[in-house]
Structure 1
Amino acid sequence: MAQHQTIRAGVGARTAEIDQGLRAHMSKVYGTMSVGIFITGLAAWAFAGLATSDIATVAQVAGDTYLTAFGQAIYASPLRWLILFAPLIMVFAFGAVINRISAAGAQLFFYAFAVLMGLSLSSIFLVYTGVSIAQTFFITAASFAGLSLWGYTTKKDISAWGSFLIMGVIGLIIASIVNIFLVSSSLMFAISALGVLIFAGLTAYDTQRIKTDYISHASQMDREWLDKSAIMGALTMYLNFINLFMFLLSFLGNRE
């Protein structure tokens, strides 16, 4: 009997240790993600400021707003295509090198990616009003928090969603590239509607996946793996947040 109680106490202590570690792991995921989002927002605002001027320089955007030489380069020259696709290239590169770099190197890579994403998204300050951008951001944050909380707490296994959602993301990427050349408003509306649904699902799915991945590896307690896993999780959730924000902005944003 005493031995049975000792075993139960050991199991209970181990479960409590895993729960505490999981909370710390998820806090690091969301903390790193939040820093990345802050860096992206600050970079986007700063680059938009460098790209525009109240004084006539290179080209007029709208009203009394003009593009500077920097703005002309990043928005109206062939360089804009590199800026558009560079974040996608960096995501694939990150997945390829994550196992060969240190956790500190992975975190630095993530923050550099956040800056580049800020450059890529800076044009929203030329297209939408600042108020609508702020409103959409807070709506996205509230929606993201609710979806992620549900994914973390639900007892329902939603792992089967993964393959369908990834197929949906691939379809969105292809459709978005096609619409760059077609410039179809109806296709853009359909892409935005599907994008909101797909990234809402991915937010819940990825939250549960990050949680279950930690629990399955908790017994190993590989510090390096845990640190890298938290950064990869932060990147995943960051991408879900940014994409959800952009698709919602296409619906809710008021254009300049």
Structure 2
Amino acid sequence: MALNTDRRYMSRSQAEAAQIDVGLRSYMLRVYNLMASGLVLSGIVAWVIVNVPAVTGLFYATQGGQVVGMSLLGTIGMWSPLIVLFAAMFMIRSASAAVVQGMYWLFVALQGIGLSLLLQIYTGESIVRVFFITAATFAALSLYGYTTKRNLGAMASFLIMGLFGILIAAIVNIFLASSLLQFVISGVGVLVFAGLTAYDTQRIKEEYDVTMDGETMSKTATWGALSLYINFINLLQFLLFFLGQRE
């Protein structure tokens, strides 16, 4: 009798584990699809800004048909994703899933303004090459974060400290314009966002709960996609510093 009870318990446990496994794969696929769609939208916005003269004139100052700098609108657009991000963080608990998704799409669309600057600085061929290098690196790091049994939360505090260090150094370098400091920032940036990619993937995986309702799951997936999107974009920009070919 006890043996039959144990078998029923094991069967039920295995069924529940299988349900969680299937649900987790579906959830992670949703996160990655959102992130990939965000990258596509950002890329389209950046391409339109650079290649459609009427739009280019809105975001860049031109002289003799050549881009000489960003316009006031372009400068505002460069910083606007940060405003959207802080607003989303402030509203995360009270906002509906539809609002959170709307802010995500707004963020990635505005991010295309900043990415258009990369199209002005680096050759298209080198951007494509570094993009695929970034994608392969990101995939490997994310796979590691998903499959490893090691708790990556222990390095989270160091990664956050490194992130703040990069931000402070980048602000300082606006005034110093030091190529050496930029080299250090880019090197540290690659390491920090590589670590964050693995850590965030594990964190997103652990946040999944089969009992979450649809609204909560949608919000959680969107935030997860945003984290991975930010990691990918920053990894791309820092790798371009080392591997990109300038115009």
Superposition deviation, residue 148 in structure 1: 0.3
Q: How far, CA to CA, are the matches of 2:207 and 2:234 in structure 1?
A: 23
Unpaired runs of 5+ residues, structure 2, are none
* 2:24 partner letter: L
Superposed, 1:34-113 pairs within 5 Å as: 34-50=36-52, 58-60=62-64, 66-67=66-67, 75-113=69-107
Q: Deviations over 1:205-232 (max 9, x none)?
A: 0001111111xx33x3322111110000
Identify the residue that residue 13 of structure 2 maps to in structure 1.
11
Q: Given the alignment of the two structures, is residue 251 of structure 1 paired with residue 242 of structure 2, yes or no?
A: yes
Deviation at 1:80, TM superposition (A): 4.2
Map residues 1-256 of structure 1 onto 2, 5 A cutoff. 1-50=3-52, 58-60=62-64, 66-67=66-67, 75-214=69-208, 217-218=209-210, 220-256=211-247
Q: Please give the secondary structure, in 2, of the residue aligned with 1:160.
A: helix
Amino acid at match of 1:44: A
Which whole-Å CA distance do the structure 2 matches of 1:59 and 1:167 have between them? 42
Report the AA paired with residue 108 of structure 1.
G
Q: Deviations over 1:113-157 (max 9, x none)?
A: 111000122111111100001001000000000000011011111
Evaluate the alpha carbon distance shift between residue 177 and residue 78 of structure 1 in structure 2; reply closer, same or farther with a 3 A threshold: farther
1:2, distance to aligned residue in structure 2 (A) = 1.4
Distance 1:241 1:23 in 2: 21
Partner Cα distance (1:239, 1:167) in 2: 17
Query: Which ranges of structure 1 fall in alignment gaps of 5 or more residues?
Result: none
Q: Runs of at least 4 residues of structure 1 off by over 6 A? A: none
Provide the TM-score with structure 2 as the length reference.
0.92
- Distance in 1 between residues matched to 2:232 and 2:50, nearest whole Å: 21
Q: Return 96-105 or 166-175, whichever deviates more.
A: 96-105
DSSP 3-state at the match of 1:37: helix
Cα distance between partner residues in 1 of 2:62 and 2:127: 26
Deviations 1:52-94 (A, max 9, x none): 58xxx9415xxxx513xxxx7xx43444442232212221211
Question: Using a 3 Å threshold, how does the CA distance of structure 1 residues 20 and 209 change in structure 2: closer, same or farther?
Answer: same
1:178/1:81 CA distance change after superposition, 3 Å: farther
CA 230–179 in structure 1, closer or farther in 2 if over 3 Å, else same: same
Cα distance in 2 between the residues matched to 1:112 and 1:38: 13
**Separation of aligned partners in 1, 2:63 and 2:176:** 25
- The one-letter amino acid paired with 2:214 is R
Letter in 1 for 2:187: A
- Pairwise CA distance, 1:167: 1.2
CA displacement at 1:180 relative to structure 2: 1.2
CA distance, structure 2, for counterparts of residue 76 and residue 106 of structure 1: 30
Number of residue equivalences: 240
Contact 2:97/2:218 (<8 A) preserved: yes
Letter in 2 for 1:92: F
Identity within the alignment, %:
48
CA shift, 1:44, in A, is: 0.7
TM-score by length of 1: 0.89
